[in-house]
Amino acid sequence: MRTIHTQEIIKNVKEMCIEANLHLSEDMEQAVRSSVETEDSQLGKKILNQLCENLDIAASDEIPICQDTGMAVLFVNIGQDVHIEGMSITDAINEGVRQGYTEGFLRKSVVKDPLIRENTKDNTPAIIHYDIVPGENIEITIAPKGFGSENMSRVFMLKPADGEEGVKAAVLSAVKDAGPNACPPVFVGVGLGGDFELAAKLAKKALTRKAGTHSTLSHIARIEEELLEAINNTGIGPGGLGGRTTALAVNIETYATHIAGMPLAVNMCCHVNRHVTRTL
Amino acid sequence: MSENKHITVPFQREDIEKLKAGDYVYLTGTIYSARDAAHKRMYDAIKEAEAKDMSVSELSGTELYDRKILPFDITGNTIYYLGPTPAKEGQVIGSAGPTTSTRMDKYTPLILDKGLIGMIGKGKRSKEVVDAIIRNKAVYFAAVGGAGALLSKCIKESEVIAYDDLGTEAVRKMSVENFPAIVVIDSEGNNLYETAVSDYLNNRQ
């Protein structure tokens, strides 16, 4: 049994909110930068170069990469041998988000009620997904999610008979419908299987995968590659203004599902695929 | 990709007609920020005033401003769909890239009919908006989505002039210099989002 105090959680969440919004992880940054070389549209290249320049300015001047600094989405894996001391862990995470977004000059983009729409003015509450895992650590991933791309995400309740072709057609249709709105080049997170809500959660989690890596399942890895190729042949391109670089990755996470169904969720993420993971 | 053009905002009418879908331009001058909540508030203010007094529907943008129904005179002006991050000390503004224009579509035809002629955002527009663009000889630009740090450098002055309570969604009057934008829908309704993808695919063959 290991004890972790919630003050430590607050401090780390605060720092992670700021870090995620100012700097892309090395793998994500590399994915954006290397796309300039393979882009064959002149305007597309120009836009990708602007994105690279934007990353430079964000880092050097400490300005958020994108003005939509997102809703704070967290994946929290709590070791079953951890004792948490202090306040409630949810309150601690929200306090970290509050401090990070306020002290880090990040945008407060959260409204308390979906219809009344009054801004909470501190970007809380966060969206927190907890998992209990073996061990005595707490692993926290923060993925601030912008809504330009979130709004273009979809859930499809496919039938088993739709098969691999149905999966590909659905993902492709989501990317085409998103077009310029999701700020291409995009990362496409796909959740396949489980049930209605698990598919969506898997799709979001898929976006946190290291760029340049594939599913460990060979048939899924193949579909990821084939889908990426198909998406980059749509011609949507950077900014939706024509070009090859429409997506930088397609990441698919799967789970067991019911004999009668094949849930599929597509979570779109713009080129600013921010996430930071720390283990406490 | 067409030649780069340097344009002054607010626009001269003759400049608008010269802008063609696909033009890459640099804007210098004065623009205003407004996004979802500010659009709803401006739209609701006009509709509520009209409900009380039918003759309000005949008023121009300037008259709506004179009667304090709208918070600034939209006539001939350009709105940037923007909700920036807060500025740190010494900064004019924080990260300042475009938000998705599609969400403003419900409000935009009325705002255009009242005199707005320029919009900067990103993403598709509805048929109703395209019709209103043609009807009013307006223009819709895209700025590069997700380049908020870069674009913030083109904003030289920024002042909240209305709806302060909306925080990031308040209306700002901004002075811009060489702000890069691409004409997506021109005053004749030509739409780059519809042609760019097929043009790219055809050229690639």
For residue A59, tell me if it sits in a domain: no
Token pair of B47 as six digits: 């509709």
Question: Does the beta-carbon distance from B146 to A236 stay under 8 Å?
Answer: no
For residue A52, tell me if it sits in a domain: no
Which residues of A are less than 8 Å from B97 in CB distance?
66-68
Which residues of B are less than 8 Å from A149 in CB distance?
none
pLDDT less than 50: residues of chain B:
none
Q: How many domains does chain A have?
A: 2
Query: What local confidence, expressed as pLDDT, does residue B132 receive?
Result: 98
ipTM of the complex: 0.93
For residue A40, tell me if it sits in a domain: no
The answer on A259 and A162 residing in a single domain is yes
Residue ending a domain, choose from A91, A114, A144: A144
Query: What local confidence, expressed as pLDDT, does residue B29 receive?
Result: 98
User: How far, CA to CA in Å, does B188 sit from each of A279, B20, B22, B136?
Assistant: 56, 8, 13, 10
The answer on A78 and A193 residing in a single domain is no
Rounded to a whole number of angstroms, the distance from the CA of A57 to the nearest CA of chain B is 6
Which residues of A are less than 8 Å from B166 in CB distance?
119
pLDDT in tens, A107-164: 999 999 999 999 999 999 999 999 999 999 999 999 999 999 999 999 999 999 999 9
Share of chain A above pLDDT 90, in %: 99
B39 as an active site residue: the answer is yes
Of B99, B149, B196, the CB nearest to A242: B196
The answer on A267 and A162 residing in a single domain is yes
pLDDT in tens, A218-244: 999 999 999 999 999 999 999 999 999
Query: What local confidence, expressed as pLDDT, does residue B204 receive?
Result: 82
The answer on A116 and A214 residing in a single domain is no
Q: Which range marks the domain in which residue A227 is found?
A: 147-275
> For chains A and B, what is the number of CB pairs under 8 angstroms?
153
Of A57, A106, A239, the CB nearest to B150: A57
Of A51, A54, A243, the CB nearest to B200: A243
Residue ending a domain, choose from A87, A121, A144: A144
Q: Is B127 left (phi over 0), alpha (psi -120 to 50) or beta?
A: alpha
Question: Does the beta-carbon distance from A67 to B85 stay under 8 Å?
Answer: yes
Q: CA-nearest residue of chain B to A106?
A: B85
Of A41, A53, A107, the CB nearest to B150: A53
The answer on A123 and A161 residing in a single domain is no
Residue ending a domain, choose from A144, A171, A205: A144
Which stretch of DSSP H or E encloses residue B138? Answer: none
Q: Which range marks the domain in which residue B82 is found?
A: 4-204
Q: Mean pLDDT over residues A9-32, rounded?
A: 96
B92 — contact with chain A (CB < 8 Å)?
A: no
Query: What local confidence, expressed as pLDDT, does residue A171 receive?
Result: 98
The answer on A117 and A9 residing in a single domain is yes
Q: Mean pLDDT over residues A12-19, rounded?
A: 98
For residue A98, tell me if it sits in a domain: yes
Token pair of A85 as six digits: 């001391």
Which residues of A are less than 8 Å from B80 in CB distance?
none
Q: How many domains does chain B have?
A: 1
Token pair of B116 as six digits: 């707005």
The answer on A131 and A156 residing in a single domain is no
Question: Does the beta-carbon distance from B197 to A234 stay under 8 Å?
Answer: yes
Predicted model pTM:
0.95
Query: What local confidence, expressed as pLDDT, does residue B2 receive?
Result: 58
Question: Does the beta-carbon distance from A119 to B167 stay under 8 Å?
Answer: yes
| B154 contacts B162 by C-beta, under 8 angstroms | no
Question: What CATH number corresponds to the domain at position B35?
Answer: 3.20.130.10
Closest CA to A171 of A235, A237, A250: A250
Token pair of A151 as six digits: 């709004």
The answer on A170 and A121 residing in a single domain is no
Concatenated DSSP letters for A214-258?
Answer: --SSHHHHHHHHHHHHHHTTS---GGGSS-S-SEEEEEEEEEEE-
The answer on A248 and A217 residing in a single domain is yes
pLDDT in tens, B160-201: 999 999 999 999 999 999 999 999 999 999 999 999 999 999
Mean pLDDT of chain A: 97
The answer on A156 and A241 residing in a single domain is yes
Question: Does the beta-carbon distance from A57 to B122 stay under 8 Å?
Answer: no
B121 — contact with chain A (CB < 8 Å)?
A: no
Which stretch of DSSP H or E encloses residue A204? Answer: helix A196-206
